[in-house]
A and B are shown apart, each in its own frame.
Chain A
Amino acid sequence: MTADQGAARRRFEPEVTEHTQPFWDATRDRRLVIQWCPGCNAPVWYPRETCPGCLGSEYEWRESTGSGTVDAVTVMHRPGSPGMAEMVPYTVAMIELAEGVRMMSNVVGCEPYEVAPGMAVRLTWETLSDGRNLPLFEPARP
């Protein structure tokens, strides 16, 4: 089963706000973009109106390579929300992206208990009901 055939409609789907629109628009092309503060020359995760380093409101979007490492992982045996009930057990992981951002995601494409801190992962996608894509990760196999 690929991520695309997963339980897209069973997930909680976040609203698009004025500020997060560029992020979600990019996912329609399967691009993961990271907010970047030119003043601090540092990534800003999660996307927000002002940079938490300098409180500046200038920013740009840079595309992530999508390669990362698992920082921490849990296998959820109880669904985090009712809509996830048919997906258990599933992973919730913190992913350290090569760009220096740590984001929450799911690692899919392998058995949940194969996922461990230190595992190299790469970006994959799951399509949401409105055509946006949700960034997920899978083991980075050569």
Chain B
Amino acid sequence: MSDLTAEPSSTGVEPLREVLIVCRAFGLAGDRKWPPNVNPQGYQQGGSGGTRGRERVPWVTQTCPGLSGGAVGGVRRPASCVVVEWLVTIPPMTQRTLRGEAAIVGVADAASPTGELELTGRALEVAMIREALDDAGLTIADVDGLCVGGPSPAGLAEYLGIHPRFLDGTMVGGSSYEIHLEHAAAAIAAGLCEVVVSVYASTPRSDRKRPGSGRRPQMSGPNPMADWELPYGNALMGSYALSASRHMARYGTTPEQLAQIAVSTREWACMNPRARYRDPITVDDVLSSPMQASPLHLLDCCLVTDGAGAMVVTSAERARDLAKEPAYLLGAGTATDHQMISQMPDLATTPGTVSGPAAFAMAGVGPSDVDVLMGYDSFTITALLHLEDLGFCGKGEGGPFAMEGNLGPGGSLPMNTNGGGLSYTHPGQYGMFLLVEAVRQLRGECGDRQVADASIAVAHGSGGVLSVMATSVLGTEATL
């Protein structure tokens, strides 16, 4: 942000979020076209004036998605939806872009209708890596980059007996794997490495039976959540429920509309033999399931299951010689605007409003081009927010959009075709499964649940409590 200056027009509100959106969408557009050729959030650009380096660039007019009043982190925000004009000065743009530079060439995932897996820990990670490498037609000797969430990518490398020259331990929750993909593609494009493996394994369900379970690692460093949230008895579900409460209050979203997301997702799960739950459900079933944290019922919440997965990423050039059709990374974006829910600038608007448009701008496509959406569904409200914040429908229209049946089999926007975190599997950090299913859809490997002629798929991960959003736009060879 330091190399970007913005002057407010006469509206007199603070520019923070608007400038951030402009900065990300612009900075990641990756070419000298401005405005970008897509406009997925309905942001309006127009007028003229301003400079970018030595070039003249247009004024940028942004309609920001409804921001609530009040101050978070000491920054006062506009009290309602506003149209703001800023004169934006951007440094000279780079010609470089990640579009089409790298591809996912191997995938694997493990889940079971029992919710439990036999393997755990490193053994499960290695099983996933072997399977993903087999899928790609590569061996462990080809791997020179390793991503695993947490402090020990070197520990996994040691266990595998490899000496990678690229490591990424990013662990920001469920979106970590979309971020691994983004980082791997950037590293490959920069020549740091050639074949990157990202892996995830978690067995919270079977861990309950293992000795020593129940002990949680102590948090280190400052923990404001302990000071300002835990005394009030908040928990994970409560955080998402607060978001749903705000969304309902502002937009009139109903419990029935949220429930429809669980119903549509279950329709997909019915076609996945490995899904935890495969019996159809109705809106009434969701609404009559036990209330957890109002307005969220049990069937609004994701599963707790064992699960694991891995992906292999390499350069587009090398990808073309491998076993399966590559799934090219067309666009990627990451954004965060809080860690704990009580610091979320607007409980009904996620940083997907930044990561999504950035990824679409890089890809040169928009929401209407997407054949399959894999949208992180820790709760029904989570998926609803993605629909709006990535521009698949207008802000506040996610409820009616779901109710129209757009998301299930035969709908206009097939979403979470594996059955999602709501019905397939959810071991805690679910983002790997979004990518695995997106790749399989693009390859045409999904059997009964295959979306016909899928050529563009989006995997949109959510980490923390709607805290870290990461969007990956993937496409077949034909979309390059």
Contact = CB atoms under 8 A, between A and B. Distances in A.
Chain B interface residue bracket vs A: 35 or more
Interface in B206-224: 224
Contacts of A103: 228, 342
A140 interface: no
A71 B74 CA distance: 17
A11 B227 CA distance: 12
A22 B343 CA distance: 21
B130 interface: no
A118 B249 contact: yes
A138 interface: no
B160 to A, nearest CB: 38
Given A73-B242, A74-B242, A117-B245, A14 B230 contact: yes
A14 B227 CA distance: 5
Nearest to A97: B70
Nearest to B291: A77
A81 interface: yes
Contact of B75 (A42, A92, A94): A42
A26 interface: no
Chain A interface residue bracket vs B: 35 or more
B74 A72 contact: no
Contacts of A11: 231, 233
Contacts of A96: 69-70
A39 to B, nearest CB: 10
A129 to B, nearest CB: 12
B74 A92 contact: no
B234 A104 contact: yes
Contacts of A14: 226-228, 230-231
Nearest to B343: A46
Given A20-B227, A46-B228, A113-B294, A90 B233 contact: yes
Interface of B: 68-76, 224, 226-235, 237-238, 241-246, 248-249, 290-296, 341-343, 347
Q: What are the 5 A-B residue pairs with the smallest beta carbon separation, nearest first?
A: A74-B241, A80-B235, A117-B249, A80-B233, A84-B233
12 contacts: A12-B231, A14-B228, A45-B72, A46-B224, A46-B227, A52-B73, A72-B243, A74-B241, A74-B294, A76-B235, A77-B293, A78-B237
